[in-house]
Amino acid sequence: KVYSDPFIVYHFHIRAWICISQAYKKRVLLLEILSSIFELNEEIYRMSDKKLGEELYKRLKGRRYLIVLDDIWNVGVWDDLRRYFPNDNNGSRVILTTQLTDVALHAKPASPPHYLRPLTEDESWDLLEQKVFQNESCPPELLKIGQLIVKKCRGLPLAIVVVAGLLAKKEKKQDWWNQVAE
């Protein structure tokens, strides 16, 4: 909600939200961040990782940016990327989310991590429904099983988004949803 708030959109010239996989690749992350900033061309895809990092730095330099690196599982991600985020003392921010305290402390040792609460069942359901059905409502025959699926995700947004991705790609049928719930 905050990331898409009109004030945030206005305040930051550049915004990027990048979901990090456990088996991340530096090149993929750099390309994802760059693609949030501008439309990539063939020249960009031919660049080395070092050149991609330099391109990212150049594109961010002098501009106020908000970069969210979501669900970091190891300190290497931050070590690989931090040099490409210029500190122009202009209010730019890089936000890391992680379930691992040591990763959070590694990124900014002098600052205690901010611990987030899990989503409520209602928030979890809203997230699943939005990801699976976009602007439509869940059909009544899938409501009960959908709420069971949400409960099994224990309020973890990443789990909900991953499951929603599975549900969104298949036909919205009760037997498939039952399989996912199990």
What is the per-residue pLDDT for 93? 96
Domain boundary among 57, 75, 107: 107
80 by Cβ neighbours in 10 Å (0-12 / 13-18 / 19+) ranks as middle
DSSP for 41-96, please give it.
-HHHHHS-HHHHHHHHHHHHTTS-EEEEEES--SHHHHHHHGGGS---SSS-EEEE
What is the per-residue pLDDT for 168? 86
For 115-170, what is each residue's pLDDT tens digit? Answer: 888 999 999 999 999 999 988 888 889 899 999 999 999 999 889 999 999 888 87
Domain boundary among 78, 107, 136: 107
In a domain, 73, yes or no: yes
For 29-79, what is each residue's pLDDT tens digit? Answer: 999 999 999 999 999 999 999 999 999 999 999 999 999 999 999 999 999
CB neighbourhood size of 174 (10 A)? 12
CA distance linking residue 146 with residue 131, whole number of Å: 12
Domain boundary among 54, 76, 107: 107
What is the per-residue pLDDT for 181? 83
DSSP, res 31: H
Same structural domain, 18 and 42: yes
In a domain, 43, yes or no: yes
**Residue span of the structural domain in which 155 resides:** 121-181
Whether the pTM exceeds 0.75: the reply is no
* Residue 98 scores a pLDDT above 80: yes
Same structural domain, 59 and 100: yes
Same structural domain, 102 and 125: no
Instruction: Please count the structural domains in the chain.
Output: 2
CATH no. for residue 50?
Answer: 3.40.50.300
